[in-house]
A and B are shown apart, each in its own frame.
Chain A
Amino acid sequence: MPLLNHDEIVALLLSLKVAAVAVACALPAAMLCAWLLARRRFPGKPVFEAALLLPLILPPVVTGYVLLEWFGHQGAIGRVLDALHLSIAFRWTGAALAAGVMAFPLLVVALRSAFESVDRRLEQAAATLGAGGWRIFFGITLPLSLRGLVAGLALAFARAFGEFGATITFVSSIPGQTRTLPIALYELLETPGGESGALRLTWVAVGVALIATLGAALLLRSGPRAELDA
């Protein structure tokens, strides 16, 4: 007997795809925001920071509802996307957007802390050697932030993989499109006789979380240190 049935495998693969795409798409914006918070002073910085952290604080259903209002077929952005045949409402891309929004603050927090831990004297030294901002960031700051980056990616991936409230509110539960593993698990619990399937998916979720965490820990062992000895 296979470990998982067809529907469960579909939900697992969809969740992996959604989480991977969500984190990959959130990463560049999260890097920029984290760098701004770590390295720049500007008016309204506390408000900017609070706005970035909102998905972490708000009930996920609220985030999902806001996404539906903006990106749904009647939403301001959704109408534009529909016109361009790029609709994301009730599609797996919508699930990825919801998961990305929910994981985004975790990435920002981890990356900000990682950037702040990089000794600025090293960045100054790089500048005296003629390096511009991009070269300093990709050659010095980012490699020395590797530990925080990996930790942030692992956390964000786990959060995106487990995303439920915003996803079901925004894109509902469509098998093969938006029914991710947590949603499938919830529906199994609501279905008479679905307990054994729910238990299997629970073990799968635990397994994925453990692999993400252990993988990150293994990568962190070999990462460079960010401080000067002096």
Chain B
Amino acid sequence: MIQLDFTLQRGEFALQLSLRSEARALALFGDSGCGKTSTLHAIAGLLKPARGRIVLDDRVLFDVHAEVDLPVAQRRLGVVFQDVRLFPHLSVRENLRYGAARADAAHFDAAVQLLGLSALLKRKPDRLSGGQARRVAIGRALLCEPTALLLDEPLSNLHREARAEVLEHLRGLKRELALTTILVSHQADEVRALADAVALLDDGRLRAVLPIAEFARGQGASNARASVGSR
């Protein structure tokens, strides 16, 4: 269960959310600047809301009234940032191990296998392609044994082949791991492939929460309208 009910002020921009979803994978969908990444950062504890409550799978991460504000390190969320943020001085193996000090070898090997990282373990991040770096970031987030996964535009800035490669791995993760996932995206196809429900955001406000089938139908209709309009 995902419960996001908070207000966050960032300069002139005000983000005001109130949503509750039972979806295993929820996408935050909207144009650039609508507050998707700020929402994700608030869930991760990197931004502090002025008021409200954030609950993931019955774990209260933030609650102003109950004076709960779990430190970032204690939230146990696997965050995959849009800008990847691999540690440049560490090898891929060391990056993967950073959050997985207690992970046993079998768990480590399974994650490496799942994401196809075996051949990359000795490389430094500056020797990775965009798709490879993104897969390492996903692996690193998974290995810290998170209670939920936060993905910020996981397919952005990737060329077509890398995009397909990372998407395939994310689909595999969704099938094999029953992890609550919150995905930030402004790409409808990405959302359709990875989410069970979609929260539509616009200028810091929640417009609707749709099951994925309804979102896909709506996208299909708007694509058709756009296609007719452009003729």
Contact = CB atoms under 8 A, between A and B. Distances in A.
Interface of A: 121-122, 124-132, 139-140, 143-144, 224-230
B144 A130 contact: yes
Contacts of A229: 126
A122 B88 CA distance: 9
Contacts of A140: 87
B58 to A, nearest CB: 20
Contact of A125 (B76, B79, B89): B79
Interface in B12-56: 44-46
Contacts of B46: 124, 127-128
Contacts, number: 65
B98 A224 contact: no
A212 B87 CA distance: 30
**Secondary structure at chain B's binding surface: helix, strand, loop or mixed?**
loop
Nearest to A226: B88
Contact of B98 (A126, A225, A226): A126
A125 B140 CA distance: 10
B81 A125 contact: yes
Contacts of B155: none
B131 to A, nearest CB: 14
Contacts of B79: 125, 128
B38 to A, nearest CB: 14
Interface of B: 44-46, 71-79, 81, 83-85, 87-89, 98-99, 126, 140-141, 144
A62 B158 CA distance: 61
Contact of A131 (B44, B88, B99, B126): B99
A144 B73 CA distance: 21
B140 A129 contact: yes
Nearest to B140: A129
26 contacts: A121-B85, A122-B87, A124-B72, A125-B85, A127-B45, A127-B71, A127-B72, A128-B45, A128-B79, A128-B99, A129-B73, A129-B140, A130-B73, A130-B76, A130-B99, A131-B73, A131-B98, A131-B99, A139-B98, A144-B88, A224-B89, A226-B88, A227-B88, A228-B88, A230-B83, A230-B84
Given A129-B144, A130-B99, A131-B73, A144 B84 contact: no
B62 to A, nearest CB: 15
* Closest A-B pairs by Cβ, 10 of them: A129-B99, A230-B83, A224-B89, A125-B85, A127-B72, A128-B79, A129-B144, A143-B89, A127-B73, A130-B73
Nearest to B46: A124
Given A131-B73, A131-B98, A144-B89, A228 B144 contact: no
A177 B116 CA distance: 63
Given A124-B46, A126-B98, 18 more contacts: A121-B83, A121-B85, A122-B87, A124-B72, A125-B79, A125-B85, A125-B87, A127-B46, A128-B141, A130-B73, A130-B99, A131-B73, A131-B99, A132-B73, A143-B89, A228-B83, A229-B126, A230-B85
Contacts of A143: 89
A228 B81 CA distance: 12
Contacts of A230: 83-85
B52 to A, nearest CB: 20
Contacts of A225: 88
Nearest to A125: B85
